[in-house]
Structure 1
Amino acid sequence: MTKHEFEVAMTCEGCSGAVTRILNKLGDVKFEIDLPNKLVWIESDKDVDFLTETLKKCGKDVKYNGTK
C-alpha cells in the first residue's frame, strides 16, 4: 500500500475527529493524524483524487503533499 501525505486545515480535536470519522467509513485504509502540524497520512491503494475528495467532505481545505 502507498502512504500519502495530506495537509488538512484542522484547528482542533473536533476537526481531527471529523477526519477520523470520514476515513473510518472507507474501511480498508490505515491513517495517522498529526493535529499540531495539520497533517494526515493515509495508507491505501485507493486513487489520490478519491482520497482528496473524501477528506474534503469534512469541510476543510485539503492539499496533497505526495507520497511518504
Structure 2
Amino acid sequence: MTQKHGFEVAMTCEGCSGAVTRILNKLGDVTFDIDLANKMVWIESERDVEFLTETLKKCGKEVKYIGTK
C-alpha cells in the first residue's frame, strides 16, 4: 500500500522546485505534489521514508519529514 509522505523542503524559488522535480522523476515509481508557497513536498510511494528523505537531500536543500497524510 502506498502512503503519502509530507516533507518540508527549504525551497525558495522555481529553480528549487525544479531540482526536486528532476530528482523525484528519476525514481520513476513515485507520484508527488510540490507546494512551493508552503515549502512542502508530498510524495506517494511504497519506498521507505529514510530513502525518500535522502533522495530529497540530493537537491542541496534542508529536508524535514513531517508525516503521512
TM-score (norm 2): 0.98
Tell me, in whole angstroms, the C-alpha distance in 1 between the residues paired with 2:14 and 2:23: 14
- Alignment gaps of 5+ in structure 2: none
Q: How many residues align?
A: 68
Aligned to 1:20: 21
Alpha carbon RMSD of aligned pairs, Å?
Answer: 0.2
Tell me, in whole angstroms, the C-alpha distance in 2 between the residues paired with 1:28 and 1:54: 13
TM-score (norm 1): 0.99
**Residue pairs, 1:46-57, within 5 angstroms:** 46-57=47-58
Q: Deviations over 1:12-52 (max 9, x none)?
A: 00000000000000001000000000000000000100000
- Alignment gaps of 5+ in structure 1: none
Tell me, in whole angstroms, the C-alpha distance in 2 between the residues paired with 1:66 and 1:32: 15
